[in-house]
Amino acid sequence: MKIAVPILTYHSNNVMGNDYHNNDHIALAHDLSVIHRLGFKIISLSTLLDWYQGRLPDQEVAQSVVLTCDDGSWFDYYDIDHPHFGPQRSFFNIIKDYSHTTGDQVHLSSFVIVSPDGRIVLDQTCLAGNGWWTDDWWQEAQKSGLMSIENHSWDHNHIAFHQNVNHDQSFKTVDNQKQCDYQLRQSQTYLNKHMVLSSCYFAYPYGNFSDYLKNQYLPEQARDLGLEAAFTTEARAVTKDCQLWAMPRFVCGEAWHTSDEFERILLSFGSPKKGLF
Name the residue nearer to Zn ion (CB basis): 113 or 222: 113
Name the residue nearer to Zn ion (CB basis): 23 or 170: 170
User: Binding mask 13-52 vs Zn ion (x if CB under 5 A, - otherwise)?
Assistant: ----------------------------------------
Cα atoms found within 13 Å of the Cα of residue 76, Cβ hemisphere only: 31
User: Looking at 97-105, 168-176, 199-207, 249-257, which segment touches Zn ion (CB under 5 A)?
Assistant: 199-207
Name the residue nearer to Zn ion (CB basis): 31 or 150: 150
Rounded to whole angstroms, how far apart are CA atoms 263 and 39?
12
User: Binding mask 66-95 vs Zn ion (x if CB under 5 A, - otherwise)?
Assistant: ----xx------------------------
To Zn ion, the closest distance from the beta carbon of 149 in angstroms equals 14
To Zn ion, the closest distance from the beta carbon of 145 in angstroms equals 24
To Zn ion, the closest distance from the beta carbon of 158 in angstroms equals 9
Binding of residue 205 to Zn ion (CB under 5 A):
yes
Name the residue nearer to Zn ion (CB basis): 137 or 204: 204
Name the residue nearer to Zn ion (CB basis): 205 or 248: 205
To Zn ion, the closest distance from the beta carbon of 111 in angstroms equals 7
To Zn ion, the closest distance from the beta carbon of 250 in angstroms equals 15
To Zn ion, the closest distance from the beta carbon of 107 in angstroms equals 20
To Zn ion, the closest distance from the beta carbon of 13 in angstroms equals 9
Query: Site residues for Zn ion, window 88-147 (CB under 5 A)?
Result: none
Torsion sign over Cα 253, 258, 232, 36: positive
Name the residue nearer to Zn ion (CB basis): 67 or 266: 67
**Residue count, binding to Zn ion (CB under 5 A):** 3
Name the residue nearer to Zn ion (CB basis): 71 or 228: 71
3 state SS for the chain:
CCCCECEEEECCCCECCCCHHHEHHHHHHHHHHHHHHHCCEEECHHHHHHHHCCCCCHHHCCCEEEEEEEECCHHHCCCEEECCCEEECCHHHHHHHHHHHHCCCCCEEEEECCCHHHHHHHHHHCCCCCCCCCCCCHHHHHHCCCEEEEECCCCCCCCCCCCCCCCCCHHHCCCCHHHHHHHHHHHHHHHHHHCCCCCCEEECHHHCCCHHHHHHHHHHHHHHHCCCEEECCCCCCECCCCCCCCECCEEECCCECCHHHHHHHHHCCCCCCCCCC
Rounded to whole angstroms, how far apart are CA atoms 156 and 119?
10
Provide the binding-site residues for Zn ion, judged by CB under 5 A.
Answer: 70-71, 205
